[in-house]
A and B are shown apart, each in its own frame.
Chain A
Amino acid sequence: MKSLSKKVIGILLSAVLVFGITGCSFDNGDDGMEAIDPTRTQLFVFSYDGGYGSDWLVAAKKRYEQLHAEDVYEEGKKGIQIYINPKKEGFSTVSDNILLNRDEIYFHEYAYYKTLKSQGMLADITEAVTGDKADLGAYGDPAGTTIESKLTEQQKAYYGIEENGETHYYGLPHYSGYMGIVYNRDLFDRKGYYFREGYENYDELEDRFILQSKGATKSKGPDGKTGVIDGVDYSLDDGLPVTYDDFFELIHCIYSGGDTPISWLGADYNSYLQNFMCSLVADYEGLDQMSLNFNFHGEATDLGTVQGGQFVKDEEATEITPENGYELARQRGKYEALKFINRLVTKSNDQYHNNLAFNGAYSHMDAQDDFLYAGNDGGRTNNRAMLIDGVWWENEASDTFDNMVAQYGETMSKDNRNFCYMPLPKATEEKAAEAAASDKAMTLYDHIFSICFVKANIAEWKKPIALDFIKFVHTDESLVEFTVHTNTPKAFNYEIGEADLAKLTTFGRSVIELKNRSNIVYPYSSEPLYVLNQSTFGFAEQWRYSSTKQFVPIAMRDDGITAEAYFSQLYTYTQTKWNGLNK
């Protein structure tokens, strides 16, 4: 017991010491957080406070509270308080307590909708999504608009659950998460890292790129058009690489220019690069073929094998069913993406990327920091032209922008610097031509599994309020507001007017422009095989070639596996694995 008291004294003494050195009083508790207002009715909303923050929700809350300031929901109270609980806890931590916690509406990510449904955690929100009561006209949308009308067919098939011959909704998507290539447009402009008009006729690097010849015209870029046609501006992608080969030529050009061509985080490079690979595959395969990977029903039209480095397409299309879904491991887009990644990660090409690209202590924040600081830190590091990251990166890097403004002035602010999302180059020239001719030139892959739902055991009298708020945050006005706050799109179809577009950063605008011209694939479906084995198909987990070797970048880099070898082993393993799936 003596020792016990000694310990307590020791701890208290040391605690006192810490307070001493930090110069703070003992109680640093409350600092003006919002209190629960007893005169109003509360609706409790959980918001995952990750890369997108919660500012967007605060903005919606203010408008909603004002709109309903005079409404009475409970006896003796007037008005509503949207009470936000912004937390950084991942979904696996949150999920076990959903039914027991106070929060009634959730906005989160990396959540398995069908699992939550099966656990009985989700309330039926059909009334807010579809049908007469779901009309968003009262909140300013065109009459007849519902949340359902803003969903893609794939989303409707996933979120809409058939029960007794009717479609019921228990959840909705939230924000978007595409992985892609960000490029520093200021640097590209300054150094002329653009392909020149008619570059295909020249052999020498300096003739194919603009570089120092500032007056030269840029090539038309992936969309094959330039200038404003029918009110649409096609010039943003001018001079950008059209094919994979172009892209690596650009890398070469940037490297020759003394800059670091491309960079990414080292800590989690496997998952970042694999999500990026999925983006490449989706863009190659297109909406229908890519969706086969999740719904397992339809005709696979570009399966094949690789012989001597050449992809040999099957003579006939293959009817895909849940029984033979492993055949999809032979999709050409996968082989092309493997080749692309192999060129990027192989040890002989280390000059292509930052030297910490595989370093476990180099986080996404570090990569963002370096991307922003490089070339602006008094010559300590050389310029970085591109960064592989998600659409959320700019919002995530807000602190770094602020720090740079404090250090170097306003020119370093988010609004004054120009970054853009690069339209993904195409694997072949045929694919490029095909895309240029289509109005949906790209296919984006959204891997974030974002979700919005009302918990199942919400009080009966409160449910209408929750449903109304759900409707409110999905009006065009609210969706646009989200985009203005985060510079990213919500996972819905909605228009953003010129005035609002102007409020976005250059990067935000480039993302919206890309989204408008793209189909979007979500890695999910309602097919039982998918639902019972979600972790196998979602979250970029489908890249495995043995039970223990699952990741492409590490296999290629450390073990020297070629794209061809990986492609064939991927098929063998997927086939073996198929027998073990839950059915």
Chain B
Amino acid sequence: MRTKNTQKPMMSGKRKDMIFYISMMAFPVAQFAVFYIVVNGGSFLLSFQNINILTDTTTWTFDSIARMAKMLVTDSGMLTVLKTSLVSYLLLLVIGTPLGLLFSYYIFKKLPLSGAFRVILFLPSIISAIVMVTIFQFFVERAMPEFVRVLFHKNIPGLMENTATRYGTVIFYNIWIGFGTGVLMYANGMSGISQEIIDSAHVDGVTGLREFWSITLPSIFPTISTFIITGVAGIFTSQLNLFSFYGGAAPENLQTFGYYLYMHTQAAASRAEYPDVAALGLLLSCVAIPLTLLVKWAMEKFGPSAD
């Protein structure tokens, strides 16, 4: 009797859930089907095509895949690109994330001048990227050498013109403009920490760094891990704003896979030239997808729990 009674509402609850689920997911799935699958499906197929625009024929082949796979392993330039892509990810992770965390913590704790800082920190994100690139580029290329000349009577080339400083400048720019978003998200995560926990920690004498380490960090770990996972996904897609600075002519030691792909897509003169780029993208995805899922799994398994 009892079992029957509870089962009945459960069943109908499940069906209700299912109907609710389907009705809520209908739009997102349909939107995805149209604007992702229909629109981009052809891009995936391109990897296996050979297109002749003169005869208007498309043949199916693994040529592009094979060719690009060979290039990835034999071309010395690709090794440089891989290195830059990885190093850039690590730099952005190692420098950008802790800075972002510290600053949002600083603001969260309402330490001196935090009100002013949070406005300033966010400025680069709210200025149109086209303008920001212009301002930044002009500043490091023209104004900085001018300052040095006036203050130290020394002639130096622009920071991006100078081979020794250009990579650092590009990384700086990326950290700099990515800051606002990170700080916003972390601060938002921190705002969820209940005051009671902090107070009881204070009673136990847990303050400062220890408080940050054992209370703040775990509670925003989901946000951090999302950024880390997104970052891994970005190893093969991020172009570090190189196109804005260099157009199609970024120096070899600055190029990332994201830039390389973007540049070659931009340069393609007709559909006939797409298969190679698509194939390269697909091959890189074959590495990036498992890697990202692995990192995600590791984050879930080894990360601190939120409680």
Q: Answer yes or no: A and B touching, Cβ < 8 Å.
A: yes
> A535 touching B268 by the CB < 8 A rule?
yes
> B53 touching A115 by the CB < 8 A rule?
yes
> A547 touching B71 by the CB < 8 A rule?
yes
CB distance from A572 to the nearest CB of B (A): 12
Q: Which residues of A contact B67 (CB under 8 A)?
A: 579-580
Q: How far is the CA of A534 from the CA of B266 in the complex (A)?
A: 13
> A546 touching B270 by the CB < 8 A rule?
no
Q: Scan B244-256; emit 1 where CB is below 8 A from any A CB, else 0.
A: 0111110110010
Q: How far is the CA of A358 from the CA of B51 in the complex (A)?
A: 39
- The one of A92, A268, A362 in contact with B247, judged by C-beta atoms closer than 8 angstroms, is A268
B272 at the interface (CB under 8 A from A): yes
- The one of A361, A547, A558 in contact with B142, judged by C-beta atoms closer than 8 angstroms, is A361
Q: Which residues of A contact B53 (CB under 8 A)?
A: 114-115, 118, 531-532
From known contacts A112-B269, A360-B246, infer whether A582 and B50 are also in contact, taking CB-CB under 8 Å.
yes
> A359 touching B71 by the CB < 8 A rule?
no
A528 at the interface (CB under 8 A from B): yes
Q: How far is the CA of A515 from the CA of B157 in the complex (A)?
A: 39
B216 at the interface (CB under 8 A from A): no
> B161 touching A554 by the CB < 8 A rule?
no
A171 at the interface (CB under 8 A from B): no
> A359 touching B161 by the CB < 8 A rule?
yes
Q: Which residues of A contact B161 (CB under 8 A)?
A: 266, 358-360
Q: How far is the CA of A358 from the CA of B140 in the complex (A)?
A: 13
Q: Which residues of B contact A92 (CB under 8 A)?
A: 266
A271 at the interface (CB under 8 A from B): yes
B225 at the interface (CB under 8 A from A): no
> A554 touching B251 by the CB < 8 A rule?
yes
> A582 touching B141 by the CB < 8 A rule?
no
Q: How far is the CA of A362 from the CA of B145 in the complex (A)?
A: 13
> B247 touching A548 by the CB < 8 A rule?
no
Q: How far is the CA of A135 from the CA of B80 in the complex (A)?
A: 59
A541 at the interface (CB under 8 A from B): yes
Q: Which residues of A contact B245 (CB under 8 A)?
A: 360
A492 at the interface (CB under 8 A from B): no
- The one of A356, A548, A579 in contact with B255, judged by C-beta atoms closer than 8 angstroms, is A548
> A546 touching B75 by the CB < 8 A rule?
yes
> A532 touching B158 by the CB < 8 A rule?
no
Q: Which residues of B contact A112 (CB under 8 A)?
A: 269-270
Q: Which residues of A contact B141 (CB under 8 A)?
A: 266, 359-362
A324 at the interface (CB under 8 A from B): no
Q: How far is the CA of A3 from the CA of B294 in the complex (A)?
A: 39
- The one of B51, B140, B247, B273 in contact with A534, judged by C-beta atoms closer than 8 angstroms, is B273
CB distance from A170 to the nearest CB of B (A): 13
> B77 touching A546 by the CB < 8 A rule?
yes
B163 at the interface (CB under 8 A from A): yes
Q: Which residues of A contact B248 (CB under 8 A)?
A: 271
> A268 touching B249 by the CB < 8 A rule?
yes
Residue of A nearest to B158 (CB): A359
> A359 touching B142 by the CB < 8 A rule?
yes
CB distance from B173 to the nearest CB of A (A): 12
> A548 touching B80 by the CB < 8 A rule?
yes
A286 at the interface (CB under 8 A from B): no
A270 at the interface (CB under 8 A from B): yes
Residue of A nearest to B160 (CB): A360
Q: Scan A519-550; emit 1 where CB is below 8 A from any B CB, else 0.
A: 00000000010011111001001000011111
Which residues of A85-128 are within 8 A (CB) of B?
92, 112, 114-115, 118
CB distance from B262 to the nearest CB of A (A): 13
B187 at the interface (CB under 8 A from A): no
Which residues of B50-97 are within 8 A (CB) of A?
50-54, 56, 67, 71, 75-78, 80-81
A194 at the interface (CB under 8 A from B): no
> B249 touching A554 by the CB < 8 A rule?
yes
> B138 touching A118 by the CB < 8 A rule?
no
Residue of B nearest to A533 (CB): B273
Q: Scan A217-247; emit 1 where CB is below 8 A from any B CB, else 0.
A: 0000000000000000000000000000000
Q: How far is the CA of A337 from the CA of B244 in the complex (A)?
A: 29
CB distance from B76 to the nearest CB of A (A): 7
Number of chain A residues whose Cβ lies closer than 8 Å to a Cβ of chain B: 34
CB distance from B117 to the nearest CB of A (A): 21
Q: How far is the CA of A551 from the CA of B157 in the complex (A)?
A: 20
Q: Which residues of B contact A360 (CB under 8 A)?
A: 137, 141, 158, 160-161, 245-246
> A535 touching B163 by the CB < 8 A rule?
no
Which residues of A362-415 are within 8 A (CB) of B?
362
Q: Which residues of B contact A268 (CB under 8 A)?
A: 247, 249
From known contacts A268-B247, A548-B81, A549-B252, infer whether A528 and B276 are also in contact, taking CB-CB under 8 Å.
no
B260 at the interface (CB under 8 A from A): yes
Q: Which residues of B contact A270 (CB under 8 A)?
A: 249
Q: Scan B123-161; emit 1 where CB is below 8 A from any A CB, else 0.
A: 000000000000001101110000000000000011011
Residue of B nearest to A532 (CB): B272
Q: How far is the CA of A548 from the CA of B50 in the complex (A)?
A: 24
Q: How far is the CA of A359 from the CA of B67 in the complex (A)?
A: 37
> B75 touching A531 by the CB < 8 A rule?
no
Residue of A nearest to B135 (CB): A361
Q: How far is the CA of A547 from the CA of B252 in the complex (A)?
A: 9
Residue of A nearest to B67 (CB): A580
CB distance from A237 to the nearest CB of B (A): 33
> B137 touching A115 by the CB < 8 A rule?
no
Which residues of B144-193 are within 8 A (CB) of A?
157-158, 160-161, 163
Q: How far is the CA of A571 from the CA of B141 in the complex (A)?
A: 35
> A534 touching B252 by the CB < 8 A rule?
no
B45 at the interface (CB under 8 A from A): no
Q: How far is the CA of A351 from the CA of B300 in the complex (A)?
A: 60
Q: How far is the CA of A271 from the CA of B248 in the complex (A)?
A: 9
Q: Which residues of B contact A541 (CB under 8 A)?
A: 267
Which residues of B180-238 are within 8 A (CB) of A?
none
CB distance from B123 to the nearest CB of A (A): 15
> A535 touching B54 by the CB < 8 A rule?
no
Q: Which residues of A contact B81 (CB under 8 A)?
A: 548
> B249 touching A535 by the CB < 8 A rule?
no
Q: Which residues of B contact A531 (CB under 8 A)?
A: 53-54, 270, 272
Residue of A nearest to B51 (CB): A582
From known contacts A118-B54, A361-B142, infer whether A534 and B77 are also in contact, taking CB-CB under 8 Å.
no
Q: How far is the CA of A531 from the CA of B55 in the complex (A)?
A: 11
Q: Which residues of B contact A554 (CB under 8 A)?
A: 249, 251
> A580 touching B160 by the CB < 8 A rule?
no
CB distance from A322 to the nearest CB of B (A): 13
Q: How far is the CA of A57 from the CA of B259 in the complex (A)?
A: 39
CB distance from B154 to the nearest CB of A (A): 14
Q: How far is the CA of A302 from the CA of B261 in the complex (A)?
A: 36
Q: Which residues of A contact B266 (CB under 8 A)?
A: 92
CB distance from B164 to the nearest CB of A (A): 10
Q: How far is the CA of A535 from the CA of B266 in the complex (A)?
A: 10
Give 25 CB contacts A-B under 8 Å.
A114-B270, A115-B271, A268-B249, A271-B249, A358-B161, A359-B158, A360-B160, A360-B246, A362-B142, A528-B52, A531-B270, A532-B53, A532-B272, A533-B269, A534-B270, A534-B273, A535-B269, A538-B269, A541-B267, A546-B252, A547-B77, A547-B78, A548-B252, A558-B251, A582-B52
> Using a CB–CB distance below 8 Å, which chain B residues touch chain A?
50-54, 56, 67, 71, 75-78, 80-81, 137-138, 140-142, 157-158, 160-161, 163, 245-249, 251-252, 255, 260, 266-273, 276
> Using a CB–CB distance below 8 Å, which chain A residues touch chain B?
92, 112, 114-115, 118, 266, 268, 270-271, 356, 358-362, 528, 531-535, 538, 541, 546-551, 554, 558, 579-580, 582
In the A-B complex, the 8 residue pairs with the smallest Cβ-Cβ separation, listed nearest first, are A548-B77, A534-B269, A361-B141, A118-B53, A115-B270, A535-B269, A270-B249, A548-B252
Query: Apart from A114-B54, A358-B157, A580-B276, what are 18 other A-B pairs with CB-CB below 8 Å?
Result: A92-B266, A114-B270, A118-B54, A266-B161, A358-B161, A359-B161, A360-B161, A360-B245, A361-B137, A361-B140, A361-B158, A535-B268, A535-B273, A547-B78, A548-B78, A549-B77, A554-B249, A558-B163
